[in-house]
Amino acid sequence: MTYPRFHNLIGGKWLPAIGGKTMLNLNPANNRDVVGEFPASGAEDVAKAVSAAKKAFATWRLVPAPKRAKILQRAGYLLSVRKEEYARDMTREMGKVLAETLGDVQEAIDEAFYVAGEGRRLFGQTTPSELQNKFAMSVRMPLGVVGLITPWNFPMAIPSWKLFPALVCGNTCVIKPAEDTPLSTYNLVQALIEAGLPPGVVNIVFGLGPDAGAPLVEHPDVRAISFTGSSEVGSLVAQRAAANFKPVSLEMGGKNAQIVLDDANLELALDGALWGGFGTTGQRCTATSRILLQKGIAAKFISRFVARTKKLSVGNGLEKGVDVGPQVNAAQIETSKKYVAIALAEGAKLLAGGHPLTKGAYAKGTFFEPTILGSVTPTMRIAREEVFGPVVSLLEFDTFEHAIQIANSIDYGLSTALYTKDVNRAFTAIRDLEAGITYINAPTIGAEVHLPFGGVKQTGNGHREGLGAIDFYTTWKSVYVDFSDKLQRAQIDNAE
């Protein structure tokens, strides 16, 4: 079979894995279509990449931030020129429909221009000193080499959320992309290289999590780790990094609720539920996986939601008219199947879908029917655990207060949505929902790059992408300049 062969990027050179191992990147809509062969790297490749990044840091940190930002700006232009090509590559490697992969590339473009602006900010503070003839200020300093570990569901947007702010702050990077989506990271970094990024400033190590991700977390020269992925792996990453007191930014799973009150615009709530539940085949950290319906509208909502879900067209995301692409791989199909079985055993009712699609045009891919489970109660596993597939649970409630309580009764806290025309309830929900993001009259998905992105509880550990990323990728230095020409002792010489 002929397909392109890709290599790791280390110190500006494209190199195979030292151990010689490779892995295939397959199209989930047609597993006979090999997108490419990529290195399956190990600790020795990571060590080389970290050493190259460390060397590059010595000069990159001294490049003025506005100049670093110019490279991001040029990369943004290159991405916009290649938007359709890169989106097609992305649909081929992970399945979501073309309109959505175009959006994924657009997010990286938006991030490039947003973060490029930071090159002329990166503000610190000046403040009075308590002593005479002494000047006090704080400045942001880069951390050094940062390790970035990313998932497959937003394979260009998420690497851009990490790489661009890390770079503008003066750090050098080693990125380990998800094994299912190496090509989109390759494309993103290609744009950076052509935009003028010096060798060694960004290094890519392709490979499996335990083989290539874990050594990156543990490497003593890696000063910080930014991880997006599952809460299970995030917990491992945090524990390993803690042994070296390494800062870690964790963005993890979700079990996001859309609440629909009796007074809501029902058609709008239905549009939101379909898009939030089945967009990206339900494989978004912010996907709507629980819909909480007030009893007055529940029956009407359910019958319309089921009817519209059954009309969704499932297929290859590159084909016109397809609403829902494949799941990314066979393991994700197994997870969807497993959770439908668990839900039914616990008393939920299957209202639509529920099965893998395996016949005809679906035979070579990993497709799952858009699925709705009714009669779900808050204590069932399907109401509490992340599926990461096209599986939506419906729960019913009497009062607004009860809806907030159900929405908050889980371990995750990423995104929430409320549909209502009651402004008082909208603001009460904004205050009381335990989540990093709350939408009013809009679905749980649709974040914009210039706001903080992240969650609470088991979704995150307090850091944010977007607005807030600069805080993670810099450390503060406080600077005191004494121009009194004598020893001045703080807290002592000026004591009253």
Interface with ligand NAD, residue 251, by CB under 6 A: yes
For 13, the token pair is 């050179």
Per CB under 6 A, contacts with ligand NAD among 38-77 are none
We find the least distance from the C-beta atom of residue 483 to ligand NAD, in angstroms, to be 47
3 state DSSP class of 379: coil
Contact range with ligand NAD by CB under 6 A, out of 52-60, 175-183, 273-281, 476-484: 175-183
Interface with ligand NAD, residue 193, by CB under 6 A: no
We find the least distance from the C-beta atom of residue 251 to ligand NAD, in angstroms, to be 3
- CB neighbour class for 202 (10 Å; exposed up to 12, middle 13-18, buried from 19): buried
Give the residue, chosen from 142, 159, 170, 229, that forms a contact with ligand NAD under the rule CB under 6 A: 229
Rounded Cα distance between 16 and 410, Å, is: 44
From 37, 93, 179, 251, the catalytic residue: 251
Site string for ligand NAD, 434-473 (x = CB under 6 A): ---------------------x---x--------------
3 state DSSP class of 216: helix
Going by C-alpha positions, the residue among 138, 112, 295, 85 that lies closest to residue 192 is 112
232 part of the active site: no
Interface with ligand NAD, residue 228, by CB under 6 A: yes
Q: In the chain, how many H helices and how many E strands?
A: 14, 25
Q: Which is nearer to ligand NAD, 109 or 252 (CB)?
A: 252
The enclosing H or E element of 170 equals none
Contact range with ligand NAD by CB under 6 A, out of 9-17, 149-157, 400-408, 473-481: 149-157
Rounded Cα distance between 275 and 241, Å, is: 37
Give the rounded distance of the alpha carbon of 442 from its chain centre.
20
From 285, 369, 386, 396, the catalytic residue: 285
Site string for ligand NAD, 252-271 (x = CB under 6 A): xxx-----------------
- The residue with its CB nearest to ligand NAD is 209
Contact range with ligand NAD by CB under 6 A, out of 16-24, 39-47, 55-63, 210-218: 210-218
For residue 45, CA distances in Å to 113, 211, 255, 433 come to 32, 10, 36, 44
Rounded Cα distance between 121 and 136, Å, is: 19
Interface with ligand NAD, residue 213, by CB under 6 A: yes
Rounded Cα distance between 481 and 135, Å, is: 5
Interface with ligand NAD, residue 236, by CB under 6 A: yes
Length of the chain: 496
We find the least distance from the C-beta atom of residue 284 to ligand NAD, in angstroms, to be 7
- CB neighbour class for 16 (10 Å; exposed up to 12, middle 13-18, buried from 19): middle
Whether the CB-CB separation of 474 and 169 falls below 8 Å is answered with yes
251 part of the active site: yes
Interface with ligand NAD, residue 214, by CB under 6 A: yes
Rounded Cα distance between 416 and 318, Å, is: 30
Interface with ligand NAD, residue 386, by CB under 6 A: yes
Rounded Cα distance between 446 and 285, Å, is: 11
Q: Which is nearer to ligand NAD, 170 or 389 (CB)?
A: 389
Q: Give catalytic residues, as residue numbers.
A: 251, 285
Give the footprint of ligand NAD on this chain (CB under 6 A): 149-154, 176, 178-179, 208-210, 213-214, 217, 228-230, 233, 236-237, 251-254, 285, 386, 388, 414, 455, 459
